[in-house]
Amino acid sequence: MKPIFRLKNLNFTYNEGKTNEYQALVNVSLEIFPEEFVILYGPSGCGKSTLLNVIAGLEVPAPGTAFVYDQDISEMTKREQVEYHRKTVGMVYQSYNLITSLSVLDNVVLPQIFLNRRKRKRDQVGAELLERFGIRKQADKLPSELSGGQQQRIGIARCIINNPDIILADEPVGNLDSVSAKNVLGIFKDLNEREKKTIVLVTHNPEYLSYGDRIFYLKDGIIIKEEINKNKNIEEKKEEEKTKAPTNELQNLMRTYQGLSPEQINILIMPYKAKMFTHHFITNRNAEETKIFEDLMQRYLMESVGQDDFLDILNRPYTEGGVGFDVRTARKISSRVEGIMQMSKFVYQERRQSKNEQGVHEIFPVEEKAVILTKYLLEVCFADYKTKPNEEEVKRLEKAVFERLSEKISKPEMYEIIDRPFKEEGVGLNAKTARSVSEEVELTLILGFGVSQNRKFLDKKREQMYSALDNKQQDATS
């Protein structure tokens, strides 16, 4: 039998050439055959996720080669890579990676939208999967209304809706209690045995090794042992350990979503945006409150919750499903977010709102945008200051903002200029204010990231996207 994956003398180094260089994979060679259930096992930090990401084409090994069927994964074009993710492999993550503002069903059918499947057809296939995984009744709920185990079943349904041959799962039960974990592992087992899917599952928990046909043991980036499991599935013991969800980085996400349109990317990176916003405003929140806050923020950024409801939920006690801020803090957050949203729309608009004498919407110069954004920053970030910055300080701040908006400098560079003493040509703000100014500018930029300017996607909401796609489909078929 020909292997699906062939990895040969594969190495992978993070931060190559820098002082924090770290070799995460060392001469890894392995083959994975059709219909196998393979487990990559080892302690945290041993390189399991890195290895899975190389197989998924998200990290490029050097030196070394990784082939899927007869194709070199690292030589795929962007288009091939997108196809690979749409059709050949499906991924399941520890933290589910669901879009918290979309319903359970919409999450499941999301990969089909990118294939331009008709809505009725996709919803039907999606509903069948939900039925199969025992969550059909929850189809119209938001993911956050479901338990962890149920959320992971949404993740699996989404992963298999395009019917990939291969499933790559990174600690898929790492966040689940033992009963839910067993249930979810049972689904993988079933997909492997009944649907003949090839499964590569990453775990650090020895209790689950019985599910694999073959286990690769990793340590410090090296495969130290390969074991064939003769007693497959004899016992599935309890898992007690819970691990924290890993955080996603924008760049990793962007790499994952290469080749998609700005609108699609915008929806997919919305949780990331919400997270950045939430962290900016966080003070002494517990994990559950933070989660509620994050979900709420996402819905607000997508404008599926209005300002009144946003305020109301911010202020509502945690025991009643709110975030539990006092009224003053809730108002402050709401107006700050509103401010950034407006600033972001402003900064990303290409032309002026009003026409000039010739009836033309002129280009809005970045210099002018920088002046207005700076004025806004002075209002929100210096509210507690007794003395306002002097004229020259403001001028320097405007210049730094201008350079950041026109992408002449990076985020840390802008921070450095704002923080640097006035005598040394900096703006000379204290460290705390410099931080808050620079974060505020970044949020303004992040929020507009991936949003198509002409189509004002955020205003249109997802229903319109669906119907647009359906119309297009109908146009194409009629």
| Site of interaction with ligand ADP (CB under 6 A) | 14-15, 22, 24, 42, 44-50
Q: Judge contact between 189 and 12, C-beta under 8 A.
A: no
Q: Which does 46 bind (CB under 5 to 8 A by kind): Mg ion, ligand ADP, none?
A: ligand ADP
Q: How far apart are CA 86 and CA 69, in angstroms?
A: 16
Q: Which does 24 bind (CB under 5 to 8 A by kind): Mg ion, ligand ADP, none?
A: ligand ADP
Sheet holding 71-72, edge to edge: 22-32, 5-14, 65-68, 71-72
Nearest approach in angstroms of CB 38 to ligand ADP is: 15
Q: Could you say which of Mg ion, ligand ADP, none residue 22 binds, taking C-beta under 5 to 8 angstroms by partner kind?
A: ligand ADP
Give least dist CB 93 to ligand ADP, A. Answer: 12
Q: How far is the CB of 261 from ligand ADP (least distance, A)?
A: 27
Q: Would you count residue 192 as binding Mg ion (CB under 5 A)?
A: no
One of 5, 40, 49, 93 touching Mg ion (CB under 5 A)? 49
Nearer to ligand ADP, 250 or 409 (CB): 250
Residue 53 interacts with Mg ion (CB under 5 A)? no
3-state secondary structure 188-223: HHHHHHCCCCEEEEEECCHHHHHHCCEEEEEECCEE
| Binding track, positions 351-390, relative to Mg ion; x by CB under 5 A | ----------------------------------------
Q: Which residue has the tokens 């091939």?
A: 80
Determine the interface stretch with Mg ion among 44-52, 66-74, 247-255, 355-363 (rule: CB under 5 A): 44-52
Cβ closest to ligand ADP, residue 195 vs residue 249: 249
From the list Mg ion, ligand ADP, none, pick the one residue 428 interacts with, judged by a Cβ distance below 5 to 8 Å according to partner type. none
Could you list the beta-strand ranges (E) of 15-117.
Answer: 22-32, 37-41, 65-68, 71-72, 89-93
Contacts for 73 with CB less than 8 Å, ≥ 6 apart:
54, 55, 57, 66, 67, 84
Q: In which region does residue 196 sit, left (phi positive, over 0), alpha (psi from -120 to 50) or beta (all else)?
A: left
Question: Residue 76 or 253: which CB sits closer to Mg ion?
Answer: 253
The alpha carbon of residue 224 and the mean position of all alpha carbons in its chain are separated, in whole angstroms, by 32
User: Taking a C-beta distance cutoff of 8 angstroms, is the pair 313, 296 a contact?
Assistant: yes
Identity of the residue numbered 11:
N
Other CB atoms within 10 A of residue 288 CB: 11
Q: What minimum distance in Å lies between the beta carbon of 32 and Mg ion? A: 18
Q: Does 95 bind Mg ion (CB under 5 A)?
A: no
Q: Which residues form the interface with Mg ion (CB under 5 A)?
A: 49
